[in-house]
Amino acid sequence: MNALSQLESLNITLPPVATPAAAYVPFAISGNMIFLSGHIAKQAGAAWVGKLGENMTTEEAKTAARAVGIDLLGTLQAACQSIGKDLNSVKRIVKLMGLVNSTPSYTEQHLVTNGCSELMAQVFAEKGSHARSAFGVAQLPMGACVEIEMIAEI
């Protein structure tokens, strides 16, 4: 399985690493673990605003979660490159945490987060199978509909 050629066959071009909106960095490497910061969904460079149960459907937010996954892969590639490697060196996607901007009654956070999880399976096959938590948050920075953080092993 070659992650980079999988991305090509999916017609995905990795974005450059986004500049964090605050006083932190996009990733931190500790031993063979790469911790990626929570990435919010973006559209045309700005926060992809929305709240599930109020003004956005599960399908729309699943698309947003897939877009977050592409941004996470851009950051993961940059993290790998910072130590002279690339996405093909990823041994395992270990864990995702999917935060879904939700009203008190919306209960499909797991279906939304699948947008990111399924991308990892497409790109990394078995190496993409990961542990995960998904839940509904009261709000997210800049009103984003979805935020996802990731841990990978190299």
Cβ distance to its own copies smaller for residue 13 or 62:
62
For 82-137, give the DSSP string: TTT--GGG--EEEEEEEEEEB-TT---HHHHHHHHHHHHHHHHGGGG--EEEEEEE
| Contact call for residue 114 and its own copies (CB under 8 A) | yes
36-to-58, 69, 88, 104 alpha-carbon distances in Å: 25, 11, 17, 28
| Site string (55-84) toward its own copies, x via CB under 8 A | ------------------------------
Which listed residue (7, 74, 102, 124) binds its own copies by CB under 8 A? 102
Least spacing, CB of residue 112 vs its own copies, in Å: 9
For 36, residues 6+ apart whose C-beta sits below 8 A from its C-beta are: 26, 27, 72, 75, 76, 79, 149, 150, 151, 152
| Site string (6-45) toward its own copies, x via CB under 8 A | --------------xxxxxxxxx-xxxx-xxxx-------
Which listed residue (6, 14, 43, 143) binds its own copies by CB under 8 A? 143
Structure tokens at 107: 């209960």
Q: Where does this chain touch its own copies (CB under 8 A) — which range of 10-18, 66-74, 80-88, 92-100?
A: 92-100
Cβ distance to its own copies smaller for residue 13 or 99:
99
Cα 68 to Cα 74: distance, rounded to the nearest angstrom: 10
Cα 70 to Cα 68: distance, rounded to the nearest angstrom: 5
Contact footprint for its own copies (CB under 8 A): 20-28, 30-33, 35-38, 51, 53, 92-97, 99, 102-111, 113-114, 117-118, 121, 129-143, 147, 149, 151, 153
